Structure 1
Amino acid sequence: MTRIGTRIILVCSGLAVAGSLLAPALAAADPGGSGMLSTTCSFDQIDAALRAQAPDLAAKLDANPEKKARLQDLLNLPVDQRQQKIQEFLNTHPDAQAKMQERRNSPEFQQHADTLRAVLDSCHNY
């Protein structure tokens, strides 16, 4: 496996386990393709928008530097590669996909999803 392939597996694994912060970020990448997996914003733009609009979530991300680095690695990939790697991971890890779907149905997810949608809608301004 290539170094980038190993890194993507680590990123995906970390994102699947990240819980209330990162799972909604990925789940906000709805099938319509308007979420974090398809954004053209850079990690720095998303981070700045998150700090401005959701400082509590930015603080949670800052408190987890390893997860933050994984998210940055993922967002540094071109959109098509990012989507492909996540889809490959979900295809081979149905338990992660089931957990994400379960989280999508929770009230906590809706709160985070709305916040992340606002961040993604404004990240080009940063």
Structure 2
Amino acid sequence: MKWNHLSTRTALVIGLAALATAATVGTATAAPGDRTHPMLETTCSVEQIEAALAEHAPDLAQKLAQRPEHRAKLAELLAKSPEERRIVIQQRQGEHPGPHDGGHDGHDGQHARMLEVLEVCATY
């Protein structure tokens, strides 16, 4: 997934939300809505995501810890239903348009690490 050059201040929350974008806008191999993405269906709490980040992406965990306003936005997103999350993510994608090819990760594997966090957070 390609990311726009966003400030570090917003990259983490937008990054987590952007992970779900593939499910809302589709990829080269799937029509919109054909795939469920971990961010839309996760039952993890912010605390579980933080614990998984600490182990799997400590640099991202540190960024989140330094930005309580982003933690609050993440908590707000997680409190929503999957359909409400989809709407928020679509709105954020509209605010930060850019190419999303579903495969390229131009931020040092950040997309892959975020997916891993969302896949394992329920075990924390």
Q: Same fold (TM over 0.5)?
A: yes
Offset, 1:18: 1.0
What is the root-mean-square deviation of aligned Cα atoms in Å? 2.5
Offset, 1:125: 0.5
Question: Counterpart in 1 of 2:106?
Answer: 107
What amino acid is aligned across from residue 83 of structure 1 in structure 2? R
Percent identity over the alignment is: 33
State which drifts further: 26-35 or 111-120.
26-35
Q: Deviations over 1:19-56 (max 9, x none)?
A: 2x223222221222223233222222111111121111
1:106 and 1:125 mapped to 2: Cα distance? 25
CA contact (8 A) 2:40 2:85 kept: yes
CA contact (8 A) 1:61 1:68 kept: yes
What amino acid is aligned across from residue 18 of structure 1 in structure 2? T
Q: TM-score normalized by structure 2? A: 0.68
Question: Counterpart in 1 of 2:10?
Answer: 18
Distance verdict in 2 for CA 1:27–1:116, change over 3 Å? same
Question: Counterpart in 1 of 2:43?
Answer: 40
Which structure has more RCO (C-alpha within 8 Å, separation ≥ 6)? 2
CA contact (8 A) 1:23 1:100 kept: no
**Does residue 124 of structure 1 match 2:122?**
yes
Structure 1 runs not aligned, ≥5 long: 1-16
Offset, 1:65: 0.8
Which is richer in helix? 1
The runs of 4+ residues in structure 1 deviating greater than 3 Å are 99-102
Equivalences, count: 103
